[in-house]
Amino acid sequence: MSTPSLHEPQTVLVTGASSGIGRDLAHIFADGGYDLVLVARREAALRTLATDLTSRHRVRVQVLPRDLTQPETPRTIHQHLTDEGTVIDVVVNNAGFGLRGRFADLSLENQLRMIALNVSALTHLTRLFLPQMVDRNRGGILNVASTAAFTPGPLMAVYYATKAYVLSFTEALATELAATDLRVTCLAPGPTATEFATAADMEESNLFRLGTLPSMPVARAGYDGWQRGRTIVVPGLVNKVSVGSMRLAPRFLLRRVLSFLNSKRPKTAEKR
Q: What pLDDT is stored for residue 5 in this prediction?
A: 47
CA torsion 114→118→124→127, rounded to 10°? -170
On whether the CB atoms of residues 238 and 190 are closer than 8 A, the answer is yes
Query: Which amino acids are annotated catalytic?
Result: 159
Q: What pLDDT is stored for residue 271 in this prediction?
A: 39
Q: What pLDDT is stored for residue 272 in this prediction?
A: 35
Q: What pLDDT is stored for residue 266 in this prediction?
A: 62
On whether the CB atoms of residues 15 and 95 are closer than 8 A, the answer is yes
Q: What pLDDT is stored for residue 268 in this prediction?
A: 46
Q: In the chain, which stretches have pLDDT less than 70? A: 1-7, 266-272
User: What is this structure's pTM?
Assistant: 0.90
CA torsion 144→147→151→153, rounded to 10°? -80
Q: What pLDDT is stored for residue 25 in this prediction?
A: 98
Q: Which amino acid is at 195?
A: E
| Nearest residue to 13 via CA among 146, 130, 166, 159 | 130
d(CA 113, CA 241): 32
DSSP 8-state assignment for residue 205: B
Q: What pLDDT is stored for residue 249 in this prediction?
A: 87
d(CA 31, CA 71): 32
